[in-house]
Chains A and B, each alone.
Chain A
């Protein structure tokens, strides 16, 4: 309510934004939907000197769908993506996860680029994009680079973005034929921050697991791929997967106590993971 006053600059291109951020220095932040940043400013948990507004930059709000790739502009709102046919058919895991973000108001203006850049350790979008193997195009003026989701995150709220560098697009390989997905989140109320969440994709072929990705979040530090479980699952029959669930937590690493105890957090992540895998397998078998 009592923010410390700051200045404002609206730009009409990402290049202009990058330039402004570089010129203005560490007191300058970019704002698009503002749904993560504004609460922090309003309650005094963050202070800025100037906000650079990219919410009206054109050309980055759409979804393009080809055989090879789904390309999503960074300024596409969550609400758009939730409803877009290309996402609901081509990346249903993402559509499902987005439905868990906050409430309609947050999703009406919050952007996928914003979620990616904010990198909330309990965020649904970073989790799902890691599991789907997304790639981000990062622009800084005329410089551009592609970074895989797995390499983009450095920790809670920390990414590889350098000053002035902005997420421009998010690219996903479309879902493979015969593939299934699963998403489960534990929150105290619908729309709340995830205490634990899991996202999985699976493809059953010839009655065994041909492919399986599993990620969890909520343990601190951002999304985690459960590689031990993924490896052991390959070639296993669906009925045997429950017996492998003890491997899920072997990749968790150190989990601290927070509001919830370490033991409960790990347990929740494991339960969510198991349920996500079960749904992914079930959907894959139904698609066959």
Chain B
């Protein structure tokens, strides 16, 4: 069968894929034998710790580390001057400047200026962690504080303090389709809304961690909790060494969510090894992670939406301002995703969007599950429900009426080429929800709301994404897969084994997957952008098909039968007349001097780079659609909101492992509920107030109800067997679903996240109380 045919297999034909197989990493994780990055390390490790800025914006007048260096047990204290290339430059794509593509820079260790609380200034390397406290206290840093700016509107003012000398405006994207002014003039209803989505922290259970050593060949070898082993290039650049002199391994990672997408400990581990020659470990404290690690971009989103009485939504005029914090990181791309998805999963004739991301002296913001596509859901799904109310229309009907279909395009011009099951997801959650729960006490009000979303999977097409896999048989008929995948908990590795097992009919227990090694496994790219199953899954799938066809060809020639008469199934190559075990087939191949492996690269779609005024035919490969429904109970006297029931439905194309898919949806939904109701990075005048798990509150098992998941399978994804990506999509709908439910319960429309009890109470006190 050709690759295309296999990809679109009916679910009924699949034996391993689409089955709830036990994940291969489950047994070891449940036994506690998995070695995470902080558990691994060579003998004689020393320890490294960063000294970070205590103020948000200042000139560094002096940095005196001499007393610290003299402390017994301290091996070295490094400053920016000790870093061979202390400036790290990032591209800021799509922004035109007079000279060249815009770039932004930050320092590995700040030398003259700090721009956020927590910015690294010095690196202590010591024999034991026990001297860290004394060493930190002995370091004298003199700050000359500069006025800081902590609010995006203030940052845009003419007289704003500059975070970077190039100006506070980092990047912009604009979209213009149709004629919004005429749409507003013609509209029967126009709804204005201003929405705010806050900074949140990834709060993975495993803090940033890693170790490094210098091997016998002078290769700096790092083991890091990372989503990107290919940062070895960036590390090499910082040290001024050839790329081949840095190697990064990623064991199983204890959660990423985008927070381990940029470099965290890597530059410091490498620097410590480079300068001292000693093997070193670094584990960030939770508190330092909560303060200094990059966050989700806060966004102010203004929407003006026009609709006709018959339910046609004419379009939006959208204005988004995002807070990049002190450094650029991935801000321009996050804003791009927000811009591209800002109109939601709907076919709208008129969309004007202006957006910008701005520097402030808050903690830097970067990748976080949803990557800009999450924040805008809160805005567009609140608007859709308000429009429905104004038109006295059912909120599901208005969404279905305006939903995208194959052949439509997003406002930016991106064509929709795969089936959109949005209406089916809406119907599914509403059917599953049953009757509204009864209020549990006299002061309680209950309500129901739902929200739909669109989230891309796969990387931006102009990045020319690829993933490469090596798949080879061993002489005994077992299989090895080598691929640079980073497994951050979503079963990325296990899924590849399932795919290989399905195509080559090798038992799961006979498949070894070697992953996450920048030197020894073929490059598969980042575990980000909901791309890994799509890209590496296709690489493994297509490589396995190639290998299968190659081996079938060998048997065909050896036995003189047409290859069409042969099938590889149940660990055998079978024809009408004979069957051979895979190990016999392999032996046959080896005897004939044939290879028994393939090395296969899957190429994602490509397209032209985006420019500030976005108008292009394709930005992203494809999208995942879904709807979530929430029933909430509001205590009308305290404002406390409890989610009583939650149903989530996504079209995942094909569920490679249904248990994994449901787990991703439930986990994303709960993380989204956390952002809706509980979580906020609170920074006052540049000082972080939520620097511990006592203050930064993530959902516990008592804070969420059962998350009922419904998985639809259109078979139309671009991934293996028709799969779509599911890692990011489930985090989009919760905030709007809960906001719509609160509105249903108490007639109050909350537009700022998180929807804290005090905000609910203030809104109730200001308006009329429900009877």
* In-complex A–B contact (CB below 8 Å): yes
* Interface residue ranges, A against B (CB under 8 Å): 1-5, 39, 43-44, 47, 186, 188-193, 259-261, 264, 267-268, 271
**Which residues of chain A are near B762, meaning CB under 8 Å?**
264
Chain B residue, CB-CB nearest to A260: B758
Q: How far is the CA of A78 from the CA of B130 in the complex (A)?
A: 32
Interface status of B694 (Cβ within 8 A of chain A): yes
Given contacts A188-B697, A190-B700, A193-B694, contact A2 B49 (CB under 8 A): yes
Is B521 engaged at the interface, CB distance under 8 Å to the other chain? no
Min Cβ gap B123→A in Å is 14
Q: Pick the residue among A2, A43, A190, A268 that contacts B702 (CB under 8 A).
A: A190
Q: Binary interface profile of B, 739-771, with partner A (CB < 8 Å = 1, else 0)? A: 000000000000000000110011000000000
Distance (whole angstroms) from the CB of B88 to the closest CB of chain A: 26
Chain B residues 693-752 with CB under 8 Å of chain A are: 694, 697, 699-700, 702-703
Cβ of B638 and Cβ of A186 under 8 Å apart?
Answer: yes
* Alpha-carbon distance between A271 and B764 when the two chains are bound, in angstroms: 15
B436 within 8 A of A: no
The verdict on B401 contacting chain A, using a C-beta distance below 8 Å, is no
- Min CB gap A165→B, angstroms: 28
**Is A1 a contact of B134 with CB atoms below 8 Å?**
no
B389: interface (CB < 8 Å)? no
State the Cβ distance, B133 to closest chain A Cβ, in Å.
Answer: 4
CB distance B697 to A192 under 8 Å? yes
Check A271 against B758 for contact (C-beta < 8 Å): no
Asked if A2 and B694 sit within 8 Å, CB to CB, the answer is no
Q: Which of B283-311 contact A (CB under 8 A)?
A: 283, 285-287
Question: Which residue in B133, B637, B638, B697 is a CB contact (below 8 Å) of A2?
Answer: B133
Q: B49 contacts which chain A residues (CB < 8 A)? A: 2
Contact between A261 and B700 (Cβ–Cβ < 8 Å)? no
A2 and B761 within 8 A (CB): no
For this complex, 12 residue pairs linking A to B, each with C-beta atoms less than 8 Å apart, are A1-B283, A2-B132, A4-B133, A47-B133, A186-B640, A186-B757, A189-B678, A190-B700, A190-B702, A259-B689, A267-B761, A271-B638
Q: If the complex has contacts A44-B133, A271-B637, are A188 and B758 also in contact, measured as CB distance less than 8 A?
A: no
Decide: B703 and A189 in contact? CB cutoff 8 A: yes
CB <8 Å contact, A261 and B758: yes
Are the C-beta atoms of B758 and A3 separated by less than 8 Å?
A: no
Please pick, from B283, B682, B702, B758, the residue contacting A189 in the complex, using a CB distance under 8 A: B702
Q: Which of B551-585 contact A (CB under 8 A)?
A: none
Q: What separation, in Å, do the CA atoms of A268 and B133 have in the docked complex?
A: 40
Point out the residues of chain A lying under 8 angstroms from B283, CB to CB: 1
Chain A residue contacts of B419, Cβ below 8 A: none
Q: In angstroms, how far is the closest chain B Cβ from the Cβ of A123?
A: 14
B80 within 8 A of A: no
The verdict on B349 contacting chain A, using a C-beta distance below 8 Å, is no
Residue of B nearest to A1 (CB): B285
Most buried by B among A39, A44, A186, A188: A188
Contacts of A4 in B (CB 8 A): 133-134
Compute how far the CA of A191 lies from the CA of B129 in the bound complex, rounded to whole angstroms.
32
- Which residues from chain B sit less than 8 Å from chain A, CB to CB? 49, 129-130, 132-134, 283, 285-287, 637-638, 640, 678, 682, 689, 692, 694, 697, 699-700, 702-703, 757-758, 761-762
Compute how far the CA of A193 lies from the CA of B697 in the bound complex, rounded to whole angstroms.
Answer: 11
**Chain B minimum-CB-distance residue to A267:** B761
Contacts of A192 in B (CB 8 A): 697
Chain A residues with Cβ below 8 Å from B286 are: 1
Q: Find the A residue at minimum CB distance from B702.
A: A190
Known A-B contacts: A188-B697, A189-B700. Give 19 more (CB < 8 A).
A1-B283, A2-B49, A2-B129, A2-B133, A4-B133, A4-B134, A43-B285, A188-B678, A188-B757, A189-B699, A189-B703, A190-B700, A191-B700, A191-B702, A192-B697, A193-B694, A259-B682, A260-B758, A271-B638
Contacts of B699 in A (CB 8 A): 189
Given contacts A2-B49, A189-B700, A190-B702, is CB(A268)–CB(B287) below 8 Å?
no
Q: Give Cα A43–Cα B682 distance, bound, in whole angstroms.
A: 19
> Which residues of chain A come closer than 8 Å to B637, judged between CB atoms?
271
Instruction: Given A2-B129, A188-B678, A261-B758, verify A39-B694 contact (CB < 8 Å).
Output: yes
Q: From residue A39, how far is it (CB to closest CB) to chain B in Å?
A: 7
Report how far A4 CA is from B130 CA in the complex, Å. 7
What's the nearest-Cβ distance from chain B to residue A101, in Å?
A: 14
Residues in chain B near residue A2, CB distance under 8 A: 49, 129, 132-133, 285
Q: Hey, which chain A residues are within 8 Å of B689, CB to CB?
A: 259
Which A-chain residue is minimally distant from B639 (CB atoms)?
Answer: A264
Q: Which residues of B contact A190 (CB under 8 A)?
A: 700, 702-703
Chain A residue numbers with a CB within 8 Å of B692 are 43
Nearest CB to that of A196 among chain B residues? Answer: B638
Q: What is the minimal beta-carbon distance from A75 to any residue of chain B, in angstroms?
A: 25
Q: Would A43 and B678 count as touching, CB distance under 8 A? A: no
A37 to B132, CA, bound (A): 20
Q: How far is the CA of A186 from the CA of B639 in the complex (A)?
A: 11
Q: Which residues of chain B come closer than 8 Å to A47, judged between CB atoms?
A: 133
A70 to chain B minimum Cβ distance, whole angstroms, is 30
Complex Cα spacing A267 to B697, Å? 22
Bound form: Cα–Cα A246–B458 in Å: 59
Q: A43, B287: Cβ atoms under 8 Å?
A: yes
Q: Which of A1, A186, A190, A267 has the most chain B CB atoms inside 10 A of its CB?
A: A1
Question: Closest residue of chain A to B690, judged by CB?
Answer: A259
Q: How far is the CB of B637 from chain A (nearest CB, A)?
A: 5
Query: How long is the Cα–Cα vector from A43 to B694 in the complex, in angstroms?
Result: 11
Residue of A nearest to B758 (CB): A264
State in angstroms the CA–CA spacing of A101 and B455 once bound together.
41
Minimum C-beta distance from B665 to chain A (A): 23
Q: Which residues of B contact A193 (CB under 8 A)?
A: 694
Contacts of A5 in B (CB 8 A): 130, 133
Least CB distance, B326 to chain A, in whole angstroms: 24
Q: How far is the CA of A254 from the CA of B49 in the complex (A)?
A: 43
Q: What is the bound-complex CA distance between A189 and B757, given in angstroms?
A: 12
How distant is the Cα of A5 from the Cα of B689 in the complex, in angstroms? 26
Chain B residues closer than 8 Å to A267, beta-carbon distance: 761
The complex places the Cα of A260 from the Cα of B695 at a distance, in Å, of: 13
